[in-house]
Structure formats: C-alpha cells, structure tokens
Amino acid sequence: MPPVSDATRLLSGWGRTAPSAAHLVEAHTDAEAADAVASVGSRGLVARGLGRGYGDCAQNAGGVVLDGPANSGIVDIDLPGARVTARAGTSLHELMERLVPLGLFVPVTPGTRMVTVGGAIAADIHGKNHHRAGSFCNHVESMRLLDGNGDIRTLTPTEHPEEFWATAGGMGLTGVVLEATIRMKPITSSRLRVDTDRADDLDAVMALMVEGDDRYDYSVAWIDLLARGASMGRSVLDRGSFATEEEVTAEGIRQPLEFATSQLPSPPDIVPSGLLNRATIMAFNELWFRKAPASRRDALMSIEAFFHPLDMIAEWNRIYGKRGFLQWQCVVPDEGHEVIRNAVGRLSGAGISSFLAVLKRMGDRNGGHLSFPIRGWTLALDMPVTPGLGPLLDELDEAVVDAGGRIYLAKDSRVRPELIPLMYPRLEQWREVRSKLDPAGRIHSDLARRLSLS
C-alpha cells in the first residue's frame, strides 16, 4: 500500500538553524513504513518525531523524512505489570494524559513532554532522575525496529543486545522504531514534594548536589549565566520525589492523580532576533533568582510545573527570532568538574545571553553505543547564535574531550566531526552493527552526514 500522503517540506530542529528540504512521508502502519524504506532513493530516509531535537538529527536534505506522529497510539496497558506498549509516534504527553490518572508515570521525562517514544529511544533521553533511574532505554523492555533491509525485528536488551543498544541512542540511524514496550513508574499522586535552595555561586550548588542528590529522585539546578565575579554560577536548585496519595489528600487535594496542563498562546513568528538581548535576559534572570525562596521545604508541585514549565508556552523557540539558537550540552566525569566551572566562567565572562542553563548529576552509563549519559555532571545551555560563539564552543568541546566527556548529539548543530570518535569511543562498534542493519545505506540524516557518523 502506498504512503497515505507526502509533500516536500522545509524542516529544522527546535533551534531553527540550518533547515533543509525533504520529502515528508506519513506512514500509519508497519506496511506503509516498510514501503517507504523499500522505495527510498539515494538520499535515504530518517524517522522524525516531534522535532524537539535542537539540530539536524531529524532532517534529511533531498531525501525522505518519515513523519513519526502519523504512527501513534497506545496499543496495550498492563496495569498490574506497570507496562505500556505504544506506537513510536506517541508523545510522552499522550502517555501522561492516559496513564497518570491510572497511577503510572513515564520512567524518564526530558524538560519537555512533547517528544515521541521513537525520539526518546533514538536519543536515549535522560531526565532529572538519571542519577537514580538511568536513561529512557534502561526502561524499554522491547521494541520493534524496521531496519534498512526492510525487515521488522523485535529487539530486547537480553536477546539482541547489540542491535538493541545500537538503536538506543543511535539517533534513528539503525532504522525506524515502530513500537515499544516501556516499564512505567508507579505513582499514587501526580504531585511532587519539592525542596528548593538558592545557592550563591557554582561551588555552593555543586557541593549541595554532591552531598544531597541521592536523597531525591529528581534534581536540577538552574544557573544564572549572566552573574559574574563572586556570584558566578549562582543557582536555584530544585529537588524532589513524587508525593504519596496520603500526603496530597492531607493538603486538601481531592483528585490525587489528576493530570492538568495549561498553555499560553505561542509567541508570534516575527520576533526580531535582538529581542532576547543581554538586558532582557539579565532582567529575567534577576527576577527568576529573586523569586525563588532562599530555602523552602516540601512544596507540592504539579508534574508540569516541576518537569515541563516551558511547555506552558507553545513554540517558545520563536522568541529567539528567525536567526535561531543552539544548545550546548556536555557531560563530564566527576573528576572533570573543572570543565563545568571553566565553561560557566568562560560563557558568563563572554556575555553569552542564556536564560536556560541547567546543571544535573548523571549516574552510570548503559549499554548504548552512542548513548550520551556517563556518570558525572551535565551542563546544558541555550544561546542565541552570535558571531564569535563558534570558536569559543570549539575550545569548550576540546576541554570536554580532554576530560573524557562528550557533547549530546540530540542537541548538537555545530560540533567538529573529528571530535566524535574521541567523545564516543564505541562509535566503530556501533558502525559495525549499523552496517548489518542497513547494509545498503538506506537510512540517512543531515546529522549523520555532517558528523560522518555512518
């Protein structure tokens, strides 16, 4: 059966830099997806979810992009076993809407719930609980993969570890994930009990995190990147765990498992690129820092307020204007903590205007050949694209490599390709598995070409 509809579209990532044109194909069934792979031309095909990757990972200039959300829906809910089987285009938002009222939460959520199961697997996403729960694919029991041969394989971490872990974090380059079964986290309320601490500088927040993160399921520090001198790295640290039903009903909440979200209108698409300048971000950061309590214990917060505050503003990426923005996210082992200090110091010293700068702890890595997380510190910063930024980030990348760390491929739009094998030492092993899954090279993306991944 032919794909239901298709069209040539200009696609970009969340950062809106480097758009490219591709044939966007909607495949609603396994057979339609298999047809799309079988009939692909020399520029190949890649799957796309909700386009929340920052760079070019879900683009394929001149080729085919398979529209993930066309293939969405929950297939099965196993309540006693706390498991869900969903089509790969299902968003984490849809999973939360259906499953939170039943007492199940996704095992890992990024800073937005507007990502698909397929995108979560392909980037092996991490959340504020990596130090406790690992990344998304640690909780995937099985997945169905349409490989570059057009074969559909069921992969599990025990029966097909090589193919499974090449796909987990493999940025969509081993094939198209069609469906997955995920172990969920049982919860008895939809609120989190959160402790907040304001830290006066970077050393203070890092010390607080080292000393106390293990007591909480979730932890994240927001850093004021514009603070300099003695205040460099001043932060607001939020840490929490899900509250119990008894804890929330004691506070007068009648529907302990209610999943409520809100949304403000999108900003217009004509925001001038200079709107987010140093002065506006400085004012925002000052307000954010001052509004946070110096120390607060046991505040009840909703899932949206704690995990996804940015989702309240649809298409907030427009506020950076048409020139777009990028995110630099690194992870370094614990002993490389100086790289984090140096990066915050260099970027704040250079006056980089970032209102989203977050620091998290990461736990042990999993088997994903290209999976990003390793034990240590991860720092993520949004910043507008400005002249002079490239050379500074190149220097920071090299410091990350020297410390045994890496840059997150799902966020990248500019790293130098020669650094990739140093950042991802299992790249060769991944290439071997990939070439078995896609010997004819049918699966391709702009990211893969830019970084010579495959």
Ligand X SMILES: Cc1cc2nc3c(=O)[nH]c(=O)nc-3n(C[C@H](O)[C@H](O)[C@H](O)COP(=O)(O)OP(=O)(O)OC[C@H]3O[C@@H](n4cnc5c(N)ncnc54)[C@H](O)[C@@H]3O)c2cc1C
Give residues in contact with ligand X (CB under 6 A).
14, 46-53, 57-58, 68, 88, 110-112, 115-116, 118-119, 122-123, 125-127, 171-172, 176-177, 310, 410, 445
CB nearer to ligand X: give 252 or 262. 262
> Could you give the angle at the alpha carbon of 18 between the alpha carbons of 13 and 21, nearest 5°?
85
**How near is the Cβ of 105 to ligand X at its closest, in Å?**
15
Nearest residue relative to ligand X (C-beta): 49
**How near is the Cβ of 249 to ligand X at its closest, in Å?**
30
Copy the structure tokens of residue 203. Answer: 């050393």
Cα separation, 49 vs 90, whole angstroms: 9
CB nearer to ligand X: give 123 or 257. 123
**How near is the Cβ of 4 to ligand X at its closest, in Å?**
17
CB nearer to ligand X: give 68 or 103. 68
Is residue 345 within 8 A of residue 232, CB to CB? The reply is yes
Burial of 326 (0-12, 13-18, 19+ CB in 10 A): buried
Cα separation, 116 vs 91, whole angstroms: 4
**How near is the Cβ of 15 to ligand X at its closest, in Å?**
9
CB nearer to ligand X: give 68 or 384. 68
Distances (CA, A) of 55 to 12, 86, 113, 440: 7, 26, 18, 25
DSSP string, 312-351: GBTTGGGGG-TT-EEEEEEEE-GGGHHHHHHHHHHHHHTT
The secondary structure of the chain in percent helix, strand, coil, rounded to multiples of 5, reads 30, 25, 40
CB nearer to ligand X: give 44 or 233. 44
Cα separation, 421 vs 418, whole angstroms: 7
**How near is the Cβ of 411 to ligand X at its closest, in Å?**
6
CB nearer to ligand X: give 3 or 111. 111
CB nearer to ligand X: give 403 or 443. 443
Distances (CA, A) of 149 to 64, 370, 409: 16, 22, 25
**How near is the Cβ of 433 to ligand X at its closest, in Å?**
15
CB nearer to ligand X: give 248 or 443. 443
**How near is the Cβ of 319 to ligand X at its closest, in Å?**
12
**How near is the Cβ of 312 to ligand X at its closest, in Å?**
11
H or E stretch at 93: helix 92-99
Copy the structure tokens of residue 435. Answer: 């070439």
Q: Which amino acid is at 288?
A: W
